[in-house]
Amino acid sequence: MSGIEILQIWIIAFFTLALFSFLYKDNPFYRLAENIFAGLTTGYQVSLIWDTVIIQKLWDPMMGGQWWMFLPGLLGLMMFSRFSPKLSWMSRVPLAVVMGITAGIFLTTQLHGFVLPQMQATMSTFVNAEGFAEFFLAALIAVGVISTMIYFYFSHEHVGVLGVTAKLGIWFIMISFGAHFGYTVMGRVSLLIGRTQFLIEDWIGTFSYIF
């Protein structure tokens, strides 16, 4: 193992331990690592956007003859008018372009790409079920979809049939959230195992080269 590799491992180990030190309490080492992390992440975004958006999507097409691409560039620069109280209204125009395009895409794709296919999938599973087990699972899914949607329906008070269905919906939702929670915990624990492995195997492994 070369000196540079050992140095790299020690730098990573220092910042890993500095970030973990917050589990005890807030301290200067954690604050240092936290601010370096925030700065590096921001700097990473700057380089990424500059290369993939400003150069590849704006500058190169403009230089390649698509002169009209100065328009989105101008709209993008108008976003910076937010720093001036007098001119900040100008940032509404690029914001309106973003909102308009997003709304236009969402209006059709949400219905066509999510609502109808999900409804169709729920019904087709129910209709195509073979045997009691499949029929039961399809019925469970259908009841779950309807009761979940009713739980989130707030235009009427949840009383009577609506109340009972909403109550069933919250039970379904709790099972789903429990499952998601279990998955999330396991994902985070997996990352923790990864960092612990690094400290035990890689970092402590360098001790034999140094001491």
Partner 1 sequence: MRTTLPLAVAFITGLVFVITFFLNEESPLVGGVSKQLLDWLIIIGGFTLLLGVVSILRVSWQSVERRKEDWIYKLITILSVLVMAIPGLLPESWSSLFGRQEGTIYDWLFLNLQAPMMATMFATLAFYIASAAYRAFRARTAEATILLVTATLVMLWRVPMGEAFLNLFSEEIPGLINTYIMGGVNLAVQRGIIIGAALGAAAMSLRIILGIERTYMGKS
Please list every residue from 43 through 72 that binds partner 1, using CB under 8 A.
43-54, 57-58, 61, 69, 71-72
Which of these segments, 16-24, 158-166, 203-211, binds partner 1 (CB under 8 A)?
Answer: 16-24
In the complex, least distance from residue 211 CB atom to partner 1, rounded to whole angstroms = 23
Query: From CA 181, how far away is CA 71, in angstroms rounded?
Result: 46
Closer by beta carbon to partner 1, 140 or else 209: 140
Q: What is the DSSP code (8-state) at residue 43?
A: H
Q: Which stretch binds partner 1 (CB under 8 A): 156-164, 194-202, 203-211?
A: 194-202
Number of residues engaging partner 1 in binding (CB under 8 A): 114
Helices (H), the chain: 3-20, 28-49, 60-63, 70-78, 92-109, 116-127, 131-151, 160-197, 207-210
User: Binding partner 1 by CB under 8 A: which of 65, 86, 108, 208?
Assistant: 108
Return d(Cα 206, Cα 88) in angstroms, integer. 55
Binding test (CB under 8 A) with partner 1, winner from 103, 127, 159, 161: 103
- Select from 16, 22, 52 the least CA-distant residue to 37: 16
- Whether 94 contacts 78, CB under 8 Å: yes
Closest distance of CB 163 from partner 1, Å: 15
Q: Is residue 100 a contact point for partner 1 (CB under 8 A)? A: yes
From residue 2, give the alpha-carbon distance in Å to each of 7, 206, 208, 210, 211: 9, 10, 13, 11, 15
Least distance in Å: CB of 157 to partner 1? 19
Per-residue binding string, partner 1, 143-162, x by CB under 8 A, is: xxxxxxx--x----------
Per CB under 8 A, the list member of 140, 164, 200, 204 interacting with partner 1 is: 140
Stretch that binds partner 1, among 158-166, 183-191, 203-211 (CB under 8 A): 183-191
Task: Determine the Cα–Cα distance for residues 54 and 47; give it in Å rounded to an integer.
Answer: 10
Contact with partner 1 (CB under 8 A) among 1, 63, 111, 200: 111
Question: Pick from 26, 128, 164, 183: which binds partner 1 (CB under 8 A)?
Answer: 183
Our finding on whether 164 is near partner 1 (CB under 8 A) is no
Tell the residue number behind the tokens 């910076």, with chain if given.
80
Q: Give the orientation angle of helix 28-49 with respect to helix 3-20, to 10 degrees.
A: 110
